[in-house]
Structure 1
Amino acid sequence: MQVNKVLVIGAGQMGAGIAQVHAKAGIPVLLHDKEMEYAERGFQTIEKNLLKQVQKGRCSEQEKATILSRIELTADIEVASDVDLVIEAIVEQMEAKTKLFSKLDKIVSPQTIIATNTSSLPITEMAASTSRPENVIGMHFMNPVPVMKLVEIIRGLATSNQTYETVHNLTKRIGKTAVEVNDFPGFVSNRILMPMINEAIFSVYEGVATPEAIDEVMKLGMNHPMGPLTLADFIGLDTCLYIMETLHQGFGDDKYRPCPLLRKYVKAGWLGRKTGRGFYQYH
């Protein structure tokens, strides 16, 4: 199946990025949020991203205008009836996602694919909230979406080969590299990344070293472009905690137990860059 029109639900940082890369590839996009104000903020994020590309000489003003013209904003979920693919990028909570999937199931056409950008939650469980589990799949984009090449494609238990092939081909069409993984908590990326971040936090908690020292070791000794604690602040410590809890619950293994210091920071509202303070302070 050819994807000719996409609906992205959730106009936050991830949703805006997903809309941008599809529009850049020539695909008309509907960018949805529950309020038009939120959708407009997402559009402004895309405008800023493209302006930076123009300033760096990587994009012309005409190209920027063309990309933006392919994006339509909406707060009406009923527009899902007219698209080939829906990509959900809302809050990382299973109850919210299954509620949305159940609602979409009653709106979209029989052949429409419903994809989720979840970073850790089971695709199979979301698919079970619909009458078309064969059309449900995971498309886990990396942040920031316009820059990062990887998309983890996750089959649910019932995902059809046709659904997988359609999404795989689309991923290549938008200039990304598709990697197929199976439906386990955290998939591959966060199953490996988050325990590393959690262990770095334990190292701070136990007084092994300062955040600065831990990040320097990983950058200079392991050739990581960004230290794990800087990365945690960038992702959001609340998100890191939620994913660790998902891994802990999903596997029932205490090696995934979130560090108490991570819980303490989240309770204090020290969530990283977005709140101005995490393991580092931001101004």
Structure 2
Amino acid sequence: MDNHIAVIGAGRMGISIIDFLLSKGFKVTAITRTPEQAENLNGKWKKTVSRQLKYGAVTEDQAADLENSYFASSKMESISHAGIIIETVNEDIEVKRKVYSAINEHMGKEALVGSNSSSISPQELADGVFDVSKLVGLHFFFPVPVSNIVEFITHPFVDEAVYRRAAEFIKRCGLFVVEQTPENAFILNMLSMAVGGEAFRGAAKFGIHKANELSQSEIFPLGAFSLFDHVQIPVILEATQRYFNRDPLRNKESYQSLLAFMKLMVPDDRSQSLMFSEIGHPGDLPAWQADMPALDDDEAEFSKRLFYLHINTCLFAVEHGLIDESALDESIKAIMGAAKGPIQLAKEIGYGNLREALGQYHAENGAQYYRPSSLLN
């Protein structure tokens, strides 16, 4: 039964998950928003299989099996035979709750559900409209085949059999798993928020494009603003607001201005938002009124500041039991495409060097997020 996976939502993330699951030999049913989208996806899949048959990559029997392994539909009742259902719709809790109400109506008795939300816990999503014992968080990172990692969000109310089946599914997928609870859920995303917030402070001096370049490092090769654009600003905004409210890393002060700025980037109707790549300087956004303290760094010092802050944030997460050291290093390498993890880099830089530099930053503005982690002692 768990060989058949239904994926609800065929946006960028949904398609990435679908492609990944098909490559692992699962049977997949995609649930789309419109019949036209379903028809388009079915047509593309048939062409893909036909090309493989034409060039001898598969036999006729294999082609028939492949064609039957994927089906797209706009009708929610098509999930009824799936053993595992993965929800990947917009990061909007009200939209998601409506989807869970529909899932509840059409899912099979033995099915379990995994949410791909990057910020909303299973309990919040269920909230009286769904049996939370059948729901876990399965937060994949985009693109799934490249990042090869999943945050597995459990909770006190999950059924033991559901937990075991979800864990077995992840194992079969061959994904590196970081298991989390409501206390440390989505910790891997949160780790980038402090450096993103400080990069935005630097943007007031250097401009957004230069600040993005200066934020690039061995564990952040894409740069803060390029990463946010990659994920898409409305998604980042929704997630950041939840991180801000929870704040297990105690660094929300670092990205308060960034959060306020992103709110101005996204229209009230959540239509096409701005991207950081389209903005040269924070002051170019007419509604923005800067509330950030002045920054005296030159470019080299600012780049070092961000690099050390990111490492310190990661160490802080380990210090407070939010993630294991080895899981942290492997996760950052997988998500960021980095050769080294923050723990490894901290050892290479030297704990004393990090502690001294961070201590200076901390003395400069008293911000909690610059307090050197106790692990540096």
Amino acid in structure 1 at the alignment position of 2:274: L
Alignment correspondent of 2:275: 272
| Matched residue, 2:223 | 227
Return 5+ residue gaps in structure 2 as ranges.
282-377
CA positional deviation for 1:109: 2.2
Give the whole-Å Cα distance in 2 for the aligned partners of 1:165 and 1:96.
28
- Distance in 2 between the 1:278 and 1:165 partners? 47
The answer for the alignment partner of 1:248 in structure 2 is: 244
Deviation at 1:190, TM superposition (A): 1.8
For the 8 Å contact 2:122–2:132, the answer to whether it is kept is: no
Decide whether the 8 Å contact of 1:10 with 1:90 is kept in 2: yes
What is the Cα deviation at residue 75 of structure 1? Answer: 0.7
CA drift at 1:14? 0.7
Equivalence for 1:37: 36
Note closer, same or farther for the CA distance 1:229–1:5 as it changes in structure 2 (3 Å cut). same
**Larger CA deviation: 250-259 vs 158-167:** 250-259
Give 2:94's aligned amino acid: E
* Corresponding residue number in structure 2 for 1:212: 209
8 Å contact kept, 1:122–1:184:
no
Alpha-carbon distance, 1:76 to partner: 0.8
Question: 1:189 aligned to 2:188?
Answer: yes
The whole-number CA distance in structure 1 between the counterparts of 2:132 and 2:166 is 15
Residue equivalent to 1:125: 124
Separation of aligned partners in 2, 1:279 and 1:114? 42
- Hey, what's the Cα distance between the residues in 1 that align with 2:140 and 2:121? 16
Closer, same or farther in 2 for the Cα pair 1:218/1:46, shift >3 Å? farther
Structure having the higher Rg? 2
Cα distance in 2 for partners of 1:17, 1:68 equals 18
Larger helix percent: 2
TM-score computed with the length of structure 2 as normaliser: 0.62
| Count of matched residue pairs | 267
SS at match of 2:177: strand
Aligned with 1:109: secondary structure?
coil
Shift in Å, 1:96: 1.3
Match of 1:262 in 2: 262
Q: Deviations over 1:48-75 (max 9, x none)?
A: 9x89xx9xxxxx8549967565210101
Once residues 40 and 143 of structure 1 are traced to their aligned partners in structure 2, the CA distance between those partners, rounded to angstroms, is 24
SS where residue 224 of structure 1 aligns?
coil
Q: Check the 8 A contact 1:245/1:257 in 2, yes or no.
A: no
Shift of the alpha carbon at 1:161? 2.8
> Offset of 1:229 from its aligned partner?
1.3
Is the 1:198–1:258 contact (alpha carbons within 8 Å) kept by the matching residues of 2?
Answer: yes
- Do 2:41 and 2:72's aligned partners in 1 also have CA atoms closer than 8 Å? no
Identical counterparts, % of pairs: 23
Query: Helix, strand or coil for the counterpart of 1:217?
Result: helix
Unaligned runs of 5+ in 1: 55-59
TM-score, length-scaled by structure 1: 0.80
Paired AA for residue 248 in structure 1 = F
8 Å contact kept, 1:12–1:42: no
Tell me by how many angstroms 1:125 deviates.
1.7
For residue 201 of structure 2, what is the aligned residue in structure 1?
A: 202
